[in-house]
Structure 1
Amino acid sequence: MRKQSRPPGPRDRAFGLGLLADMEDDYLGFWRQARHRYGDTVYMRHGWLHHYAFMHPDQVREALVDKARSFIRYEQHIKVMRQLHGRSVMITEGETWQRQRRTLLPAFSPKRFDAYAIQVTAAAADAFDKLQADDGAAVDAEHTMNMLAMDIILRTMFGSRVEQDTARIEQAIRTLAAIGYAEMFLPFAMPAWAPLPRQARKRKELRLLDGLVRSHIRARRSGAGAGRDDDLLGMLLAARDETSGAPLLEDEIRDQLMTIFLAGHETTATALAWAAWALAADPPLAARVAHEVDTVLGPRVPAMADLARLPLLAALVKETLRRYPPVPGVLMRRAIEDVRIGDWLVPKGSLVTIPFFVAQGDARWFPEPERFDPARFDAQATRELPRGAYIPFGAGPRVCIGNGFASMEMALALAMLVQRFTLAPAPGQAVPEPRMQVTLRPAGGLRLVLTPRPPAAAVPPAKEALHACPFHA
């Protein structure tokens, strides 16, 4: 490939360390300002590393889908994540990754979603029953959704409700997220054994989560644990190595479960909190969603078969993921060969960032992008959307394996929420500012008033012929 000039971008006399500090301080703002100032393609240097960012939908698709084999995930970030995830499907590359993904794919097949939906709605009923007793008191919506999402993912993993101190587990996850986010912007990977206070906190919280997961593996293998063969743990215990035919080792099962737990809990919790805010901030939209849910469900618990008849609710989920993508900053790659993306040559060894949240907030693809509008995802609007403009779960071979499950989980939980409550901002609650700390959290927290609604009139359940998942269409 012939050489050419590089794209425009910011310069930093401190060898790029100042740019990394700016990203850590305001990751979302950094890339939005870069797009506004320099265009869809941005170039910068970090020490000896060349760093490209692509923000046009065509470039996004080219990098993540068409030329995905020209890239691997950035090793610095993988070293940070490996301390939590071990050698799970999130970490590995090549044949090992492909084998692990094949092992996990059956667990996330829509065929299993009926069983998962029962666990989701049971957890939501428990969580919302507790809120109903407060009768209009202001609640910490972010904490509520964190605890709900944790209950859901633990039930899905282990087949029954987990009795451990979930508030303490939530604290451990928040601590690890904060430390991990800071380490993403260091010029080198900080070893977990380093004799530093922050690393000591990391080791402590990792021991807690590791103990949680391993205790369930050992209890199930000994016959003392509860659960079923069709939960995630049962599936992994029944899995066999493709080469030797041997059962998976405890460390292998631990790593996959840890990734499912961490990725499946915090992302969904954050998205549910933002969806709750969208409903609280827009009473006419909330009334329309509640009317749709009441018409289809009445007072009964939703099932998987109902989701195809709730198009506005499905659009609400999709618009939440557009406006408030739970994990906006994980798509960083390193080129393993010279590769051309659009008009630009990316030399071997260069870093490539895909800040996809910029395209999801671009007025060219989403008019008035700051406005929350589920109508963007009606059938006609979706057909006109450029491929690559909306990828909250990533794209290409490494698209999130749990994307359908997460969307289904959100829809069921939100349906039960609007069945039971009318939402409003708590007194003094300003419009929350999105702030990235691995996941996109509402800065300063999110307090809402949940006022119980009277039960809707009874309606018959959906027919089996209507069973379909709008998130797999």
Structure 2
Amino acid sequence: MKTTPAQCPFGADQPASTPPLPLHPVGAWPPGPPAGVTGWGLLRRMAGDLLGTLDGWRREYGGLVHLRIWPEHQVVVTEPELVRELLVQHHDALIRWERAVHVFAQIHGHSVLTSEGAPWRVKRQALQPAFAPREVQAFVPDIADAAAGAFARWRGGEKDWPVENGFTSLGMDVILRMLFSSAIDADARLAERAVHDVVVAGNGEMYWPVTPPDWMPWKRAKREGKRVLRELIGRHVQARLATPREHWPEDLLARLLALHLDNPHAWPLQAVRDECMTTFLAGHETAAATLTWWAWCMADNPAAQAAAQAEVDGVLQGRVPTAQDLTALPHVTRSLQETLRLYPAAPLLLTRRSTRPITLGGWQLPARTMFSVPLQLMHHDPRWFPEPLAFRPERFAGDAPAIPRGAWMPLGTGPRVCLGQHLAMTEMTVIAAMFLQRFTAAVPAGMAPPRPAFAITQRPATPLRLHLTART
């Protein structure tokens, strides 16, 4: 199936021009569910089942759904062409939802994730070279070394092996190596718990009108998680600064500190720490969540798993993968792409707000309109993906019917597409190939399919455990 080019799988190139739609009058809104006096009842419905509720409204009202939730006007966009129009053509008229930015900034500081406008552009341009495909390839040996060490500790023959915990620890090891050239240790185990606690707390606070201070007694877990993560990053930064620059390893921290030393005014040490925090959290969580769901898809689809294993065996012949091998593993790549379609790590993009009036799909929408983009609803739309809940990696084969642009974009699109997109795909491909070399996964007898739970990222509601058999 034809998708965006392989060199930029979540690319932000301009869409082809299409004839303009007839304009609705100013002040008119797209159709949507009755809001009542305040619309707060809509919030209650979404709180019970966010994606299910949005999907019902999409089916009833179409690809643009207006929600009047006092004091806001929100438009839910699920039509691929309109999503790209919003995020690509109108990107300079959008900012991220202020409440989400406030919550994230408590952990991430003023990193590229939480910045807007000129500060964001400066950070993005400075960081982009470190995440380019050629630079990312240099990390393949570190990823493979971490995976080999982790899988050596996994036990084949276990009928109830905690694969989710295993991939989470492996993801932590990989990001520590790429960011700090540091292998996993006891501190990393504490960091795993800290990441969980701050993510859960952040998701809960996202929908509060205000954020109570962290010294409140019931926020102890969040408070402790923030302390552990900040101290972990602070120790690595200080240790590196105490080392002569000519002895620094070529990792992401070295590149960030080079920005600081070259321009300390634009890149103070706090900015370096903030970017380390964002790279650490985002780089660890997205890969771990996706690999967890991928393992489930492999276990639940033995034929797809066998095809990917045969490909890995034929290409690698038992050796560790290199950067040059990755393009020779299309079955593995397609299995990851299909996993990202079924279970995007972030099924709902951060809500945007318009800073000026824009026209979208013929609707003239005023400044301060909020826009939500539920990626998973587009990924599960039967118009673009027949039998949308079936795991079918062949959708992404080169000779498959083309996927409409914008219908599949698991890490976003436009200028704010995920900075670590190439890094994530490289990491997951290496780990998936090495897993397939060593294990065959199966669903334990009597196990029901895992239920997704959404807390900023999407994970199984209960930690995933699978039956693993070691391969000879």
Superposition TM-score, scaled by structure 2 size: 0.91
CA gap of 1:345–1:198, structure 2 versus 1, over 3 A, is farther
SS in 2 for 1:165: helix
Q: Aligned partners of 2:362 and 2:65: how far apart in 1?
A: 12
Q: Aligned partners of 2:148 and 2:218: how far apart in 1?
A: 38
Greater CA drift, 11-20 or 423-432: 11-20
CA gap of 1:14–1:143, structure 2 versus 1, over 3 A, is farther
Q: Aligned partners of 1:141 and 1:153: how far apart in 2?
A: 18
* Structure 2 residue ranges without an equivalent (≥5): 1-22
Q: Give the drift of 1:403.
A: 0.5
Q: Aligned partners of 1:196 and 1:36: how far apart in 2?
A: 42
Q: Give the drift of 1:53.
A: 0.8
Q: Aligned partners of 1:336 and 1:190: how far apart in 2?
A: 24
Question: Residue type of the partner of 2:348?
Answer: G
Q: Give the drift of 1:37.
A: 2.0
- In the alignment, does 2:131 pair up with 1:108? yes
Structure 1 match to 2:457:
439
| Structure 2 counterparts to residues 268-417 of structure 1, below 5 A | 268-381=287-400, 384-417=402-435
Structure 1 match to 2:211:
190
Structure 2 match to 1:467:
none
Question: Residue type of the partner of 1:136?
Answer: E
| Structure 2 counterparts to residues 29-428 of structure 1, below 5 A | 29-132=52-155, 135-186=157-208, 188-191=209-212, 193-223=213-243, 228-240=248-260, 248-381=267-400, 384-428=402-446
Q: Aligned partners of 1:27 and 1:430: how far apart in 2?
A: 22
Structure 1 match to 2:50:
27
CA gap of 1:58–1:365, structure 2 versus 1, over 3 A, is same
Q: Give the drift of 1:200.
A: 3.5
Contact 2:64/2:78, CA 8 A, preserved across alignment: yes
Q: Aligned partners of 1:9 and 1:79: how far apart in 2?
A: 28
How many residue pairs are counted as aligned between the two chains?
449
Greater CA drift, 13-22 or 230-239: 13-22
Q: Aligned partners of 2:248 and 2:441: how far apart in 1?
A: 36
CA gap of 1:147–1:194, structure 2 versus 1, over 3 A, is closer
Question: Residue type of the partner of 1:163?
Answer: D
Structure 2 match to 1:430:
448
Q: Aligned partners of 2:219 and 2:70: how far apart in 1?
A: 25
Question: Residue type of the partner of 1:223?
Answer: T
Q: Give the drift of 1:303.
A: 0.8
Measured against aligned partners, the alpha-carbon deviations of 1:84-138 in whole angstroms (never above 9, x if no partner) come to: 1000000101111111112211211122233211111111111110003x54342
Measured against aligned partners, the alpha-carbon deviations of 1:170-189 in whole angstroms (never above 9, x if no partner) come to: 12111111111122222x23
Q: Aligned partners of 2:186 and 2:267: how far apart in 1?
A: 25
Greater CA drift, 156-165 or 195-204: 195-204
CA gap of 1:227–1:77, structure 2 versus 1, over 3 A, is farther
Q: Aligned partners of 2:457 and 2:380: how far apart in 1?
A: 17
SS in 1 for 2:186: coil
Contact 2:312/2:437, CA 8 A, preserved across alignment: yes
Measured against aligned partners, the alpha-carbon deviations of 1:252-303 in whole angstroms (never above 9, x if no partner) come to: 1110010011111111101000100011001111110000000000110111
Contact 2:130/2:136, CA 8 A, preserved across alignment: no
Q: Give the drift of 1:194.
A: 5.0
* Structure 1 residue ranges without an equivalent (≥5): 455-473
CA gap of 1:411–1:160, structure 2 versus 1, over 3 A, is same
Q: Aligned partners of 2:56 and 2:217: how far apart in 1?
A: 34
Structure 1 match to 2:15:
none
Q: Aligned partners of 1:194 and 1:147: how far apart in 2?
A: 27
Q: Aligned partners of 1:313 and 1:120: how far apart in 2?
A: 16
Structure 1 match to 2:11:
none
CA RMSD of aligned residues (A): 2.0
Q: Aligned partners of 2:113 and 2:419: how far apart in 1?
A: 10
Structure 1 match to 2:469:
451
Contact 2:441/2:468, CA 8 A, preserved across alignment: yes
Contact 2:260/2:268, CA 8 A, preserved across alignment: no
CA gap of 1:225–1:353, structure 2 versus 1, over 3 A, is same
Structure 2 match to 1:463:
none
Q: Give the drift of 1:226.
A: 12
Q: Aligned partners of 2:465 and 2:264: how far apart in 1?
A: 51
CA gap of 1:16–1:202, structure 2 versus 1, over 3 A, is farther
- In the alignment, does 2:25 pair up with 1:11? no
